[in-house]
Amino acid sequence: MDNEIGKTKILDSPLKNSSILNYNKTIESKSLAVPLILTPLVDAFAILVIYLLVNSTATQHEVKIDDTISLPTASSTKNIESGVIVKIKNGHFVIQEKIVSATNLTNALRAIMAKQDPQKVPYLIVEADKESEFEKLSPIMLASSNVGFEKIKLAVVQGEVK
């Protein structure tokens, strides 16, 4: 007879079973080490390498320098991508081996810009003698900005700056 009067029986409490302190269970240890999945990392690295290779091999060329123009010197130079070259020769503006007046400079640059790819605006490369006055450079900069050239580069020769 299980139900005798006077005999005490220990019952399991629902609170005891749901407690985080498991009295009757053994302690289990969990490992915090997570396996490292390398496949996405290798994929991301490969994409990064391809991106850097494609963008670092831009086509660059050296600009042919006119012998009659004495370019200024700079301590560091960089080859630039191809662009539209404007020369200042004997006080005249020369674009594509044609002498252009200051009043027609904007129209000449606009005609060249119309032939270019609108997605890739070329550089405007200015070849001017190192003795040139800023008054001669100013119309080129004004006309090129009106036409839509975003980058203007000045042709220089690498050397020691005095």
- How confident is the model over 98-155, as pLDDT tens digits? 888 888 888 888 888 888 877 777 788 888 877 777 788 888 888 888 888 888 887 7
Answer yes or no: are the C-beta atoms of 80 and 123 closer than 8 Å.
yes
CA distance 26 to 29: 10
How many whole angstroms from its chain centre is CA 49? 15
pLDDT at 47 over 90: yes
- How confident is the model over 9-41, as pLDDT tens digits? 665 666 555 555 555 555 555 666 677 788 888
> Picking from 7-21, 49-63, 76-90, which range would have the lowest pLDDT averaged per residue?
7-21
pLDDT band at 6 (very low <50, low <70, confident <90, very high): low
pLDDT of residue 36: 76
Q: Where are the domains of the chain?
A: 73-158
**Residue 89 corresponds to which amino acid?**
K
Fold of 73-158: Nucleotidyltransferase; domain 5 (3.30.420)
Residue 18 phi, psi dihedral angles, 5° rounding: -95, 0
